[in-house]
Structure 1
């Protein structure tokens, strides 16, 4: 009898072990990572910063697919409708993703994706041209108050992250401006460099080379946060200047389409933790002035929920009189 019981337990243990192994998921072919913006923008920078190292860990080729249009909505739509087999994943940019999920014509909800991990948390800044007459942020505010609506700001899309940033700044400082909506940060930045607009709200990593070069083309005049940026110790926070007194910025991370298995999420969450801890990835983020901030799937889900609530809570106060397009 003891021999029989031992055999039975041995067989059961083997079956359980086999089931555990069988449940483990790994990609079996090329992986597509969708970026809902042009190459060269902040979200694309995040993807490019991990691509080569990720291929070594995942042991599959990775293709970054930039899908532009509709201020980022077009790319997110592709993520949402992708086959939930784990072979296609994508980036979302918060709070843009949350804000756009309830715009007319978005056709997706926050719950249509499954969080994998967060990668970057970047503080927003206010930027002008290097030769702008606005030497300090107070100069911009003073001029904007004297000429309501005359000053223009390019955004990365209607109600996208940097449109919200410009609105928070303007409302806290008490001035009106004209928003010029662009499809992503690359186009937004182009509007400033060609002097079609007077200021933009972005993150430092996206314009660092244009600020820190020996012949700078741009100047940072304000920081959304409780602390100044270490690379720009002389640039005050908006709170120090008497304006918006909370942190604001963008969180970028990776998601999968709804319907993906728990095994897929577990695999990617764990593998991206290793990837984002790799010294080569850490160095690349430091080199590009990007803030590496890995968050697992649960913490990234909490961030999405929090920023979804934030977008809805400020909707009425900062967008009440804002026309849809300019």
Structure 2
């Protein structure tokens, strides 16, 4: 009987020691907090963007090259972002009504817009204008399209070549009318270069949209059109317009039968670059989301095919490379205009 009690006591003691060991082990093995535990990784908050529709500002009128470019992009960009992208046209002021609205919009990523180069530069480089906004007023994201400048006349015009037109303009200074897309725009800057090199002088008619300029030329109200390849290549193919020259280093794939200005003895190179920007101060996380979505949208095979159909030369330049490109173009125009 004593032996049994002795053995029972040992068993109870062993059980007690085992339970004590479990309790001590539990205390020493208490889990550490994620912020202090060895090898713990801190979770970064994710930005929920976008959660509502975006606005895409175009500083020129409906039907022009920038408007067509913007509506092409919006259709594919909204698929990547999962939200509608609404294009609005804010015209006037040589483009600065739209660019100013973009610069002063809330920097939350929900308002983006096209900036056109070189068109945007005269508004603040020209000392007579004294505009407070400049390139630093924008968070530039990505270039989309580069569209060379052209000169064109009506399909039945007496001018069959660029040289014929220039010869007549020299003989009759400021008698031949020329439709351009706003003071300081690419069409206007190109015209100023040609006038400087050749001595020819034209009577300039400025419009808010290239579509208005095209209507004027087709209607016989203006004799010469300054525009971009994408804006005229269909009319040229149909014979409604005759493109006299392209201001690029080489012939356009969309106008293979049209010589460059350089081929015709004039070393004049001018184009418009249409890129996307947001207001300065837009958070980097949001800019990264927009950049990624834009990159995917412009690489979409449907987007590429449609751009070719519209005569748009895709020229994506992103991030720091885009900033460097813009600063280089800014300096080039500054030197060209003596500002």
Residue 169 of structure 2 aligns to a residue whose secondary structure is: helix
User: Cα 1:223–1:12, aligned 2, differ >3 Å: closer, same or farther?
Assistant: farther
**What's the counterpart of residue 322 of structure 1?**
none
Q: 1:114 aligns with which of 139, 142, 145?
A: 139
User: Cα 1:308–1:7, aligned 2, differ >3 Å: closer, same or farther?
Assistant: same
**What's the counterpart of residue 325 of structure 2?**
303
Retained in 2: the 8 A contact 1:25–1:264? no
Unaligned runs of 5+ in 2: 1-27
Aligned counterparts of 1:171 and 1:89: Cα–Cα separation in 2 = 36
Q: Which range moved further: 7-16 or 127-136?
A: 7-16
Q: 1:232 aligns with which of 255, 264, 267?
A: 255
Aligned counterparts of 1:175 and 1:11: Cα–Cα separation in 2 = 78
Residue 168 of structure 1 aligns to a residue whose secondary structure is: helix
1:15 CA displacement? 5.1
Q: 1:68 aligns with which of 52, 68, 91?
A: 91
Q: How does 1:154-193 map to 2 (within 5 A)?
A: 154-193=179-218
Aligned counterparts of 2:61 and 2:120: Cα–Cα separation in 1 = 16
Retained in 1: the 8 A contact 2:233–2:255? no
Q: How many residues align?
A: 311
Is 1:294 paired with 2:319? Answer: no
User: Cα 1:146–1:78, aligned 2, differ >3 Å: closer, same or farther?
Assistant: same
Retained in 2: the 8 A contact 1:115–1:298? no
Aligned counterparts of 1:272 and 1:207: Cα–Cα separation in 2 = 26
User: Cα 1:82–1:242, aligned 2, differ >3 Å: closer, same or farther?
Assistant: same
**What's the counterpart of residue 75 of structure 2?**
52
Retained in 2: the 8 A contact 1:148–1:175? yes
**What's the counterpart of residue 323 of structure 1?**
none
User: Cα 1:262–1:174, aligned 2, differ >3 Å: closer, same or farther?
Assistant: same
Residue 120 of structure 2 aligns to a residue whose secondary structure is: helix
Residue 243 of structure 2 aligns to a residue whose secondary structure is: strand
**What's the counterpart of residue 236 of structure 2?**
211
Unaligned runs of 5+ in 1: 318-326
Give the TM-score normalised by the residue count of structure 1: 0.89
1:266 CA displacement? 1.2
User: Cα 1:269–1:177, aligned 2, differ >3 Å: closer, same or farther?
Assistant: same
**What's the counterpart of residue 278 of structure 1?**
300
**What's the counterpart of residue 27 of structure 1?**
50
**What's the counterpart of residue 283 of structure 2?**
261
Question: Root-mean-square deviation (CA), in Å?
Answer: 2.3
Residue 101 of structure 1 aligns to a residue whose secondary structure is: helix
**What's the counterpart of residue 324 of structure 1?**
none
User: Cα 1:120–1:231, aligned 2, differ >3 Å: closer, same or farther?
Assistant: closer
1:57 CA displacement? 0.8
1:8 CA displacement? 5.4
Give the TM-score normalised by the residue count of structure 2: 0.85
